[in-house]
Structure 1
Amino acid sequence: MTARSLTPRASMVTFPSHASANSDSAAVLVATSAFGHSLIAEHGQAAVLPWLKEAGADGVEIRRELLPDGFNDFEALGRAGAETSLGVVYSAADALWNGDSLAPGVMTRLEESRRLGAVAVKFSLGHYASDASPASRINAWQQLCDALKGTATPLLLVENDQTAEGGTLAPMAATLADAKAADCPLYMTFDIGNWQWTGVDPLAAAQALGPYVRYLHCKGVSVERDRHHASVPDDWELAEWRALLAHFPAGVTRAIEYPLQGSPLVDVTCEQIKRLRAL
């Protein structure tokens, strides 16, 4: 599998340069975090790839925060994805920006994603100083643009997280607008559930940011004792999500990022993949 192919069913992929007029349904990936930290700590992320293949997933989201301390064999993990014909998205678990500069570690994470053979790499926004001096911001954008050159470079995505600086409309919109002005290929992972942590209406966010969205993080949200938790979406939430999809590119690639529990686990995963694919 090359970095230009997210899944063996390439017609289903909606990342830039992978779209097809013959798309008939959306690609669905599964974030390994959906299986819980305990299971991944015991078995490793490579171990769940055959389960995902059997369940009908098109790809996997590898989570850096779930890799063992000192992990460095990204090539082997990438080969495991290729052997199961699963496209790979790399969740770097790091911020993209630190004020008017790229955050420390960005270049390292980009290199890890290349070694992994990922089709896309996902960062949180971090703190983007849109009011910083134009010169400093221009230099940082140029540095990022230069780093993204090359045929093996994955698509760069920034995700709304659960913080005020990285998960609200104003900083996200400013970042994406500045990326466009700098002719830098930065797109968005739209996390449906995370907007609830920051009190943003997901529909308003979809209307404002929809053209930039290339990847959809899907999770239901439940509230217990005034705390938000990721949960399996109910039918009402799925209906709400359909309204959001009207503002995104047709057939946008989506990922399960909510708990997958039950037995047999492959069947549970298969059922949830079908629910998202049918949206």
Structure 2
Amino acid sequence: MQASINTAVFANEIQAGRSQLSYLEELADSPIDNIEVRGELFNKETKDEELNSIYSLCQKQDWGFFYSIPEQLFKTDQVNPNIEDHLKMAEKFHIGNLKISLGDLSDISAEQLNNLKDLLSQYNVKVTIENEPNDNGTLKNVVQQIIKLRELDIPLGYTFDSGNWYWIDEDPIDAFKNLSDAITVFHLKDIKDKETVMLNDGTTDWKALINNLSANIPVFIEYETSKQELPGQIKLVNDALNKRDKK
């Protein structure tokens, strides 16, 4: 397995005017397995054309195609009404995986969850929920909600974001120990003083997390870097993955 890339690595440049596609094209032939684009970084007028081109690039590079939805799946007493539109979009543009923030299930009924289960079963798209850096993303809450979703056999995976725990004063190592069996996608960050930094410059024991992660789970670099720094960050992750996989 090799590292994967979330386009958060280019966020500032993309927000300044360049497309996600243009930066992904610069990653051609890099030692990566998957790419994850971010819904909030698309220009609405050119989004469909860009998604088509990104899919073609993924086909050419043999990359898995992931998409991050900048919304919450559960909104206190309702399931996000846009979720079917996102599933339709994913099928249209051959996106294999969608990621969306968990949100709040506290007043979601079993009937609503069963309706979601039926909806998800109609699409050949994997959907994962992600822990958030807010009250919905505390370890206690995430554990409870994942248990609830599992009891009803809702086909949702779980994206573990190793950085988001810091911003709500939780320990990512403790969170990992409690949630490791639920993880299907891993978002990697290193943090120092609640700021994202380059790998090995922060306080996260990120290599220990990778060492204890199942070998089939993609590891996404999901923090801003420069074009000069990114190859070195990819190499650090790939070296850690290779060392783990040779055990």
TM-score normalised by the chain length of structure 2: 0.87
Q: How far 1:61 moved relative to its partner?
A: 0.6
| Alignment of structure 1 residues 182-261 onto 2, 5 Å | 182-223=152-193, 228-234=194-200, 237=203, 240-245=205-210, 247-261=212-226
Q: Distance in 2 between matches of 1:87 and 1:242?
A: 23
Q: Percent identity?
A: 24
Q: Which amino acid aligns with 1:142?
A: N
Partners of 1:30 and 1:52 within 8 A in 2: no
TM-score normalised by the chain length of structure 1: 0.77
Q: Which amino acid aligns with 1:105?
A: N
Q: 2:131 is matched with which residue?
A: 160
List gaps (5 residues or longer) in structure 2: 241-247
Q: Which amino acid aligns with 2:13?
A: S
Q: Distance in 2 between matches of 1:148 and 1:27?
A: 29
Partners of 1:211 and 1:247 within 8 A in 2: no
Partners of 2:190 and 2:206 within 8 A in 1: no
Partners of 1:35 and 1:259 within 8 A in 2: yes
Q: Distance in 2 between matches of 1:83 and 1:77?
A: 10
Q: How far 1:95 moved relative to its partner?
A: 0.3
- Per-residue displacement from partner, 1:91-116 (whole Å, max 9, x unpaired)? 01110101132123222222222223
Q: Distance in 1 between matches of 2:121 and 2:230?
A: 36
Q: Distance in 1 between matches of 2:78 and 2:14?
A: 37
- Number of equivalent positions: 238
Name which of 125, 148, 154 aligns with 1:178.
Answer: 148
Specify the SS of the correspondent of 2:74: strand
Q: Which amino acid aligns with 1:121?
A: L
Q: How far 1:40 moved relative to its partner?
A: 5.5
| Residue 145 of structure 1 pairs with residue 122 of structure 2 | no
Q: How far 1:277 moved relative to its partner?
A: 2.1
Measured at CA, do residues 51 and 76 of structure 1 come closer, stay the same or move farther in structure 2, by a change above 3 Å? Answer: closer
List gaps (5 residues or longer) in structure 1: 1-25
Q: Which amino acid aligns with 1:209?
A: L
- Per-residue displacement from partner, 1:214-265 (whole Å, max 9, x unpaired)? 1111111232xxxx32221216656x123334553235210011222143xx
Partners of 1:31 and 1:61 within 8 A in 2: yes
Q: How far 1:56 moved relative to its partner?
A: 1.7
